[in-house]
Structures are given as structure tokens and as C-alpha cells.
Structure 1
Amino acid sequence: MIRNLRKIPLKPNYILYIQKQTFLTNEYQCNGAWNNQISSSVLSKVNLHDFFNTVDQTYATKGVISAIDVDVFANSVKEPVYLDELKELLHKLRLSAETGNTLDSTLHATVRNYIEFGNIEELIQILKDPLNYGVFLDEYTANILLNKLLVSQNYEQAANVASVVMLQEDFSNDITCTLCQYACYKYISEHTPPKPTPTEEKPKKVEELKIRVKFLRNPYNDDHFDIKDTLIATGKTLVWISEKSSNNLNNNLQIIGLFAFKKYDKLLALSEEVSKTSSSKIFTEVIDLLKKKSDTVEAEAKAIVDKCVSMLSSVSSAEVSLEESLKNAIENAINKNHNKDITSQEQLFKSWVKIREVKLQEQARRLDRAKRVEFIQKKQKQMTEEEQKLWFFETEEQIDLQIEEKEKLENTTTTKKKQLQKSDENYIPPEILPKRK
């Protein structure tokens, strides 16, 4: 599982090798192919400061923003100072009708930029708010981000990323699924409930303040997008991903996930199924985790968990640890998909360059067409004005009639405004009386 070695020179002809644990190799990130993609002739000419001001001014005056402009900006970012501008452009694009034309290269570049410049916490907040930013992970950026978080042992943020993958409901990549499983397991096993803070007793209110509202929303929780608790979302993620295939490892992970997800009835049913299957094996970490955390649940749930522990204790134990089995699953998934993912990324980057060039050409033609239409409309307006000057004496009566009609319309609007103002001045609000007892 030790993927690479970091060299530290000590003295001449002496090199100290320090093992650095990681899952993905440096080749998986395809940095060379990515750098070639962002150093194309179009992107190398972009001045980000001027470009952002132009796009922002166009949005402020006309309320229009182009998806290809945001893509050019996202792929041209080479300094962390422009991440705030990129975030602002993504938000404006999301609020416009152009959000449906957002390019995949825009999302990929955004994730890579935030990872490269170390703003991972802000990136996760953006990923957890798709309504305002519309940034979604693809399988490659998800793997790179999960690998970085797991190497730094930031299991809570890794679990948040796994929950984002679960909400996207795309479990086609085996590397992504196994990394998500490992992140969820590590977070659940090392999670400690926060200590309750002592609350000060608030003084009793003498008078109640009542506010009139139009309507009240009934409380609703869809048990999916409305989940705000990281531990519960992590449990659901572990359950959903482990349901892909039925084997001993996935069954054990489902047990842990159902416990964290607080689906105790399903946990009991799965425990019964595992205990009745002769080929089943249980990891000792699963039983230890249930025993350790059973005191944190309610009394009714604790009885169910204790019953599950007693049933699972009768199942034969696995020879290796759960964490080692998870790492072996990750290793197998990487060996199976590593070269394929690298090849597909390189092809994808080349296709994005061609798509960007085509989109820019289409936008240039569209803007040129709009300029020509605007020029023709100005010419037509000038011609009508010249015509009125030339034929003024022949059409004088018609012009007078048009002026009279405009004056009548103006008079009617002013009288209506005056009437409305008078009615507002004479308006008396209803008196709210207390209810009779």
C-alpha cells in the first residue's frame, strides 16, 4: 500500500528514503496532459484581471454571462488570488439561463485549482451547495480529492466528499467507491460525539410577541438531501456504496453504515441474514464498534443493537482486519482501472481543447451577428428620421395627430397616479382587537 518513496538528501552519496502512504500514483493525476491542455494558444493570451472586469461589467449592464467565458477563466487560473473571482463567476453563471451550457472542463478545472492551491475546505463548501454554484465532481477529481484527504488523515472532510458522491448517485468507478468506503469507515470508527455545552437558563418572557405570517411550512425531511448531520450522511453513503455487491466486506460495512444511519430495523434484519449464512464472516472491528457506540443511542435502539451484537458474535471471525481488507479492495480497484483512467483522462483533455475552440468560434459568430443587426437597426432609425425631415410638410397633419394621442396617454397616466396617491392617503388600516375569552 506504500505507493511512493520521498527522497531526502543527507550528505553526498547518501539519500534517506521515507515511506509516504498514498493510494493513487502521481501518474494518475495526469499533470503533464493537464498542463498541456491549459497552456493552449487561447488560454495563454488571457489577462485574467481585464477578462474578469469585462465579464463582470457585461453581467452588471446586460445581465448576461457566457458559459464559455467562465470556462476560459477557470482554465486560465494560475494564482490563488483569482479563486474568489472564479467563485463569483460560477455563482453568477448558476443564476443565469446559461447554467445548462456549463462545460465539464469548467467543473474539472475548478476542483483542480482549489486542490492545487490548498483551499480544500472552501471547495467542499462549494460542492455541498450545488444550487448556488453548480460544481459537481467527476470520477477523476473525486479520486484525486479523496486521495489527498485520506493521505493527510482528514477523515471528516473525506467523509463529506464521499457524501457528495453519494448524493450525485454515480457509483460507476470502483476506485471512487472503495476510497469512499474507506473514508466513511475511518470517520465513523474515529468519531466522538461532541460534549454538550451547558446552557444558561433564559429569563421568562413577560409578554409574547406575535407576528402575522402568510403560511407555515410543515416540517419535512426527505432523508436524503435534507440530511445535515455528517455522521448520518456518512452512514447512508457507506450503506449505498456497499449495496453494489454482496460479499463479506460489503456486508460488514453495511452493518456499520446502518448503525451510523440509525436504521436499526434494517440493521437487525441484515444481522439475522449474516448470522444464518454459513459462508459469512464478521470482522472483530464491527462487533467492537457496535459495543463501544451502543451506549450513545436511545434505550429502544440499544436493545436492538445488543441483539445484533449477540447474533454477530456467533459468526466466525475473519482472518484479517477490516482496514487491511479495505486497503486490499482499494489496491485491486486501482490495479484494475489505473491505466484505463489515465488514458481516458488524456483523451478527455484533448477533446476539451477542441470543444473550447468550437464554442469560442460560435460565440464570435453570434456576437458578430448581433453587432450587424444592431448596426442595421441604427441605420433604419436614421433613415426614418431623415424621411420625416424630407416629407415634413406633406405629413404634417399625421404628425400632429400622433402628438395629440401621446399627450392624451400621458394625461390619463398622471390622473391615475394622482387617484392612487389620494386613495393611499385616505387608507385606514384595520384595528386588531384581542380575542374574546
Structure 2
Amino acid sequence: MNGLCRSLRLVCTIRSLGKRSFLSEAYRCQEAWAQRLNTPILKKINIDEMYRELDQTLESKGKASAIDIDLFSNSVADESYADELEDIIHRFRLTPSTTDLLPSTPHAVIRSFIDMGNFEALMRILNDRLNYGIFPDYYCSNLLLDTLLKMGQFRDAARIATFQMLQEDWNHPITSCFGLYACHMYLKNKENELWEPEIKDEPEEEVKVRVKYIRNPYFDDHFDLRDTNHLIGKTFVILSRALPENDPIRLTYELVGWSLYEKWDKAKAFLEKFKSSKEEYILYEGITLIEKAFSEGERTQSKEQVQEFLSSIKNLPKVQLREEPSLLSLMEDRLKQVISQQEKNDITQQLEQYNIWGEERMEMLKKQAEMYQREFKLKKIEEKKKELIEKEEMLFFFDKKDELDMVIEKNEEIKRIYENEQKKKKKVEEADDGYIPPDVK
């Protein structure tokens, strides 16, 4: 009930901002998502006790059960447990059991933080994939993009689009169109929101560390990308592949993408190939995006290349470079069209997925209970065997006294031999320490 109230409060806040909504309320599947808390398994969970148990297990054993992590993640319905959820997910990621992470766990983490309205923590978790291992699926990406765009948080929405680019996945039409729109909106409002917060450099004491060898610098031009324009540019290039080849939206975004990515050879090759086609055209608004991205003194080293490339675009015939219609309005219309075609299918699939996850959770719990019961029985058997051995030793002590004496004597002999060897070794080492080599002429 508290989660539902927070979601309603979040929706009211979004509506009060007056931002345009793309996805319908039905897309959120809020009722089905909230229904998980009424399942017999999650009803029995005391979240405070479960956190303490998981904390002790991770501390003592260095690992935890994936189903326990999933149950805890799905049980969180209160923003007061945001720190605990982040802590458990991070620590579980560092264990060998992280390979067993259930698909429903990342979904639960993302939806919980969305319901809390804690987007700062959520973006930190999603951006640090190495230490958290939370990757949004299509459905969660769409929810996040829609919510962030309605709230006017264009930078974070563009970040979600770049995550999709890093996975090189443009198969879902809604996610790809959302990503293109988010990147466009970020560039349009770039001056209001920096990609990275400004950090004032403080003088630090120089520390020298001895290393065995220095690694050669390596840049993979994908996961190592940190430059804002490069990230946005490559996102335009990859996500635009979801659109038809001769679509002016795709052509314009691809041209903008190669420019921001500063792959001038590919940008020029694209432009030359485009010139040979008389039926295709691009939109002038793309030039505006390029100019805005390289404005305010940015990329001074590429200033001449940018101006040269922009001039070659502006020299295109009017048939191939059109000022109308607006690129952004076309993208909005295309996004609405794709949502109207795909939304019902996504909702149906997600509702089915909730049922599948519930059944899988029950099955895994049964298997875990059987495993614990088997381990308990084995432990009892080992304890019984140890007890019987001790009783046997007591009952037959005098019968086996001679054997025990021989074992003791043999162990003492081995000990004496070892001690003598150590003494000889020590004398040789002392003699070596005192050795002075002769002078060599």
C-alpha cells in the first residue's frame, strides 16, 4: 500500500511539472507489480531480520544464495531500506554466486528505486555495472526513460540511452526511439545540465608506488568512452538502426552521430554516399544539433574539421537538406506511433513474466529447502560417526594400546629426524652468511 501511495505521489509530481507523457499508466503494470507483496512467500518475510541474516552470511561465508537476494530485493517496498538494498546488491556482486543472479532481481531493484523516486542512487547503481551488475531490460529501460523525460531529467534519460548503446542492442523499437529522443532533448537543453558534476581539484601529496611493469595504454573505443559528445554520437549511430534505412530521421541522426563521435572519415563517407541518392533527404535541425554540441569553446582542436564538415552539409541541394518539418516533432510522432503499436504486446509479456518469475521463485525455494535438509542430515550423520569413533576408542583402548604406543613412537622418531635436518640446514645457512668471496683480479 505504501509503494502504491508513493507511485501515485510520483505520478502527481510528474503531472504537476506539465511534461508530456508517452507511455500509458497501464504500461507500468503497477497492480501486478504490487501484487508480489501479497504472495505467501513475501508475506512471511521480516525484512529487518532477513537483512541481518544476509549481512552475517555475506560476512562469514563470503557468499549468499541468489534466491535469498531475490526475495530481499522483491520485499523492499519502503524508501527507508534503500541503503540496505544497495549494500546487499553490491556485496553480492563481489561474491562467486553473482553468476546465479535471477532475472527478476535487477527488475526488482530498478522498480523499487523508481517507486521510491530515488533516481540519484539508481543512476549511480546502473552506471557502475562492474560493482553492482544491474542491467535494465527493455521494459525497465522504457519505464525509466518515460519517467525521466516527464520529469525533465534529460541527462539521466540520455544516460539510459547510452547504456543501451553499450549493449549494442537496438532490437526493441520503443527503447531505441526513446533513446534517440532522450539524446536529442539532452543536446537541446545541454546548458542546463552538465553530464558530469564539476569536481574541484585539490592539491594532493605525490605518492610513488613501485610496480613490476607498466601496462601499455589501451582504449577500446566503446566501454572506455567518457566524452559526452562521443557517447551521445555513438548512441545516435547505433540506436538509429532501429529505423528504416531511407528514413530521414535515421539519416539525420546517423549524420549527427558520426559528427559528435568525431569519426570524420565515416561522416564524410556517409555524406558522399548520401549525395548519390536523389530520393533521400536530411533535416536542417541536425546541423543545429552539431553546432550546439561543439559550441561554447568545446572541441577547439576539432573546430576547423567541424566548420568544414558543416559547410559541406549546408552546400547540399535544397531537395536533400530541408528545414521543415522539425526533426524533434518527427521523432515525437514516430515514438508515439511505435508505442501505440508495441505497448499492448509489452504489457502482456510483462504480466506473463511476473507469473513466470513467481513460479520460478517457488521452485527454487523448494530446491533450496531440500538442499538445506540434505546438508542437515549429512551433518547429523558426520556427528554420529564422530561420536561412535570416540566411543570405540574408549571401549577398545586397552586392546589397541600396543598399536597406539607404536604410532606415538613413530611420530616421535619423525619429529627427531625433522629437528636434526633443520639444525643442519641452519648451520649451512650460517656458514654461507659468513662467507667472503675472494677478490677477482
TM-score, normalised to structure 2's length?
0.83
Q: Distance in 1 between matches of 2:237 and 2:128?
A: 23
- Do the aligned partners of 1:294 and 1:306 also contact (CA within 8 Å) in 2? no
Q: What is the alpha-carbon distance in structure 2 between the residues aligned to residue 95 and residue 119 of structure 1?
A: 24
Cα displacement (A) at 1:128: 1.7
Partner residue in 1 for 2:47: 48
Partner of 2:106: 107
Q: Which residue of 2 aligns with 1:269?
A: 269
* Distance of aligned partners of 1:77 and 1:248 in 2 relative to their CA distance in 1, 3 Å threshold: same
Cα deviation, residue 310, structure 1 = 3.2
- Aligned residue identity for 1:266: K
Query: Could you tell me how far apart the structure 2 residues matched to 1:338 and 1:303 are?
Result: 42
Q: Counterparts of 1:267 and 1:188 in 2: how far apart (Å)?
A: 19
**1:317 paired to 2:322:** yes
Do the aligned partners of residues 417 and 128 (structure 1) sit closer, same or farther apart at CA in structure 2, a change above 3 Å counting?
farther
Deviation at 1:67, TM superposition (A): 0.2
* Number of the residue aligned with 2:134: 135
> Closer, same or farther in 2 for the Cα pair 1:360/1:145, shift >3 Å?
same
Structure 2 counterpart of 1:73: 72
Contact 1:160-1:230 at 8 Å conserved across structures:
no
| Aligned residue in 2 for 1:289 | 289
Would you say the 8 A contact 1:108–1:137 is kept in 2? yes
Deviations 1:207-251 (A, max 9, x none): x98653211011111011111223321211111111333111101
In structure 1, C-alpha distance between the alignment counterparts of 2:11 and 2:188, rounded to whole Å: 33
- Further displaced range: 365-374 or 100-109: 100-109
How many Å apart are 1:7 and its aligned residue? 12
Distance 1:233 1:405, change over 3 A: farther
Amino acid at match of 1:309: I
Q: 1:267, 1:308 within 8 Å by CA — same for their partners in 2?
A: no
Equivalent of 1:225 in 223, 226, 230: 223
- Percent of aligned positions that are identical: 33
* 8 Å contact kept, 2:285–2:323: no
The structural deviation recorded for 1:292 is: 4.7
2:403 corresponds in structure 1 to 398
**TM-aligned CA distance change 1:300 to 1:217, over 3 Å:** farther
How many residue pairs end up in the alignment?
408
Map Cα deviations across residues 329-349 of structure 1 (whole Å, 9 max, x no partner): 111110111111111111110
**Over the residues paired in the alignment, what is the CA RMSD in angstroms?**
3.4
Say which is worse superposed, 313-322 or 402-411, in terms of deviation.
402-411
Aligned ranges 1:230-245 → 2 under 5 Å: 230-244=228-242, 245=244
**1:410 deviation in Å?**
6.5
Among 325, 329, 335, which residue is 2:334 paired with? 329
Deviation readout 1:15-51 (Å, 9 max, x if unpaired): x999651111111000011111232110011101101
CA shift for structure 1 position 132 = 1.3
Matching residue within 369, 375, 380 for 1:370: 375
In structure 1, the residue matched to 2:5 is none
Q: Does the 8 Å CA contact 2:240/2:253 hold for their aligned counterparts?
A: yes
Shift of 1:313: 6.0
**Contact 1:287/1:313 (8 A) holds in 2:** no
Give the direction of change, closer, same or farther, for the CA distance of 1:209–1:80 in structure 2 (3 Å limit): closer
- Would the aligned equivalents of 2:230 and 2:262 in 1 still touch at CA under 8 Å? yes
CA distance in 1, matches of 2:214, 2:305: 32
Q: What corresponds to 2:38 in structure 1?
A: 39
Letter in 2 for 1:217: R
Q: Secondary structure at the match of 2:322?
A: coil
CA contact (8 A) 2:166 2:222 kept: yes
1:384 aligns with 2:389: yes
Distance 1:418 1:33 in 2: 78
Structure-2 residue corresponding to 1:260: 260
- Judge which range, 166-175 or 284-293, deviates more: 284-293
Structure-2 change in CA distance of 1:303 and 1:410 (3 Å): farther
Contact 2:58 2:92 in 1 (8 A): no
Q: Which residue of 2 aligns with 1:187?
A: 186
TM-score by length of 1: 0.84
Deviation at 1:100, TM superposition (A): 1.8
1:12 maps to none
Specify whether residues 140 and 418 from structure 1 end up closer, same or farther in structure 2 by C-alpha distance, changes over 3 A only.
farther
Q: 1:399 Cα deviation (Å)?
A: 1.9
* Distance in structure 2 (CA, Å) of the matches to 1:406 and 1:51: 50
Q: How far did 1:68 drift?
A: 0.2
Q: Alpha-carbon deviation of 1:118? A: 1.5
Pick from 283, 302, 305: which aligns with 2:306? 302
Contact 2:229 2:293 in 1 (8 A): no
Q: 2-side partners of 1:423 and 1:90: how far apart? A: 53
Q: 1:423 to 1:137 in 2, by over 3 A?
A: farther
- The change in CA–CA distance for 1:219 and 1:409 in structure 2 (over 3 A counts) is farther
Alpha-carbon distance change, 234 to 54 in structure 1, aligned in 2, over 3 angstroms: same
Is the partner of 2:324 in helix, strand or coil?
coil
**1:84 is matched with which residue?**
83
The answer to whether the Cα contact below 8 Å between 2:187 and 2:289 also exists between their aligned partners in 1 is no
Distance 1:219 1:241 in 2: 29
| Runs of at least 5 residues in structure 1 that lack an aligned partner in the other structure | 1-5, 9-15, 429-437
**Cα separation, partners in 2 of 1:54 and 1:18, compared to 1, 3 Å:** closer
Specify the SS of the correspondent of 1:349: helix
